[in-house]
């Protein structure tokens, strides 16, 4: 199931809904699923290597989210454009909502972006995605369905030259009990599992957990998997097997 197609530059639907009739209490979200940038934007001035890197999308996150959706019979909302155009897990007021620089890479196509172009991305990409996520939650809560919101992400093995020890992390704010069970379960393997690592939830920098989860009284977490564990089908399957029982 896909949204209606927007006219103009952003002709691809802004999102896809996988398994809309899913019966699981879990509603999955993959905000950084795609590295797609319209051809007319010439990869925002990035070369092919940079445009395929983590700065453009969360490598492996979509494959994992689809596998979890199938295993759990869970509905999944998938973003269809690169976060370099506009980051769907950032408030519009965040400085990097439309990043001019990401890690070691300047983003030439986002520099000196005019108000009209910026508003087009908001109207065509950001607003439809968040309206749809809100509508999915409205429907569930209105029907009295138990609901848990889970964002599926990945992160790089190192950041600015510093190795990250965690194989995965669970990010949360108000959903302490839900997140705590998940962290404890994943730690049974003996591997390094971060609780609010390698990132923390910040209402000034995050959308999914604080806005769609905590503000509505819905248990909400982001799952972060180190992306070297998601680069093969076997790795994706292994992580889905580990995660599914705790979601």
> Architecture of domain 15-246 in CATH?
3-Layer(aba) Sandwich (3.40)
Residue 48 three-state SS: helix
67 versus 1: which is more confidently predicted?
67
Residue 114 neighbours by CB under 8 Å, 6+ apart? none
At 126-166, the pLDDT tens digits run 999 999 999 999 999 999 999 999 999 999 998 877 889 99
Residue 4 banded pLDDT, cuts 50, 70, 90: very low
Contact 226, 164 (CB under 8 A): yes
> Hey, where are the domains in the chain?
15-246
DSSP state of 158: E
Q: Which residues contact 182 (CB under 8 A, 6 or more apart)?
A: 170, 221, 223, 246, 247
pLDDT per residue over 177-229, tens digit each?
Answer: 999 999 999 999 999 999 999 999 999 999 999 999 999 999 999 999 999 99
């Amino acid at each position: 199931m896909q949204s209606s197609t927007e006219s103009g530059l952003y002709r691809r639907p802004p999102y896809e809904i996988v398994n809309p009739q899913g019966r699981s209490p879990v509603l999955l979200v993959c905000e950084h699923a795609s590295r797609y940038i319209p051809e007319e934007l010439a990869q925002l001035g990035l070369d092919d290597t940079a445009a395929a890197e983590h700065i453009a999308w969360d490598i492996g996150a979509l494959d994992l989210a689809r596998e979890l959706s199938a295993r759990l019979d869970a509905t999944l909302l998938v973003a269809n454009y690169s976060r370099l155009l506009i980051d769907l897990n950032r408030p519009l007021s965040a400085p990097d909502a439309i990043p001019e620089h990401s890690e070691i890479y300047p983003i030439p196509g986002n520099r000196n972006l005019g108000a009209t172009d910026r508003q087009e991305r908001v109207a065509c990409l950001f607003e439809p995605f968040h309206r749809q996520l809100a509508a999915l939650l409205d429907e569930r809560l209105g029907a009295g369905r138990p609901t848990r919101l889970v964002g599926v992400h990945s992160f790089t093995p190192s950041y600015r030259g510093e190795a990250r020890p965690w194989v995965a992390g669970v990010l949360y704010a108000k959903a302490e009990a839900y997140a705590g069970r998940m962290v404890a379960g994943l730690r049974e393997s003996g591997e390094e599992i971060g609780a609010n690592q390698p990132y923390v939830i910040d209402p000034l920098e995050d959308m999914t957990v604080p806005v769609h989860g905590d503000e509505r009284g819905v248990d909400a977490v982001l799952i972060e998997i180190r992306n070297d564990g998601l680069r093969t089908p076997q790795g994706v399957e292994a992580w889905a097997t580990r995660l599914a029982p705790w979601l």
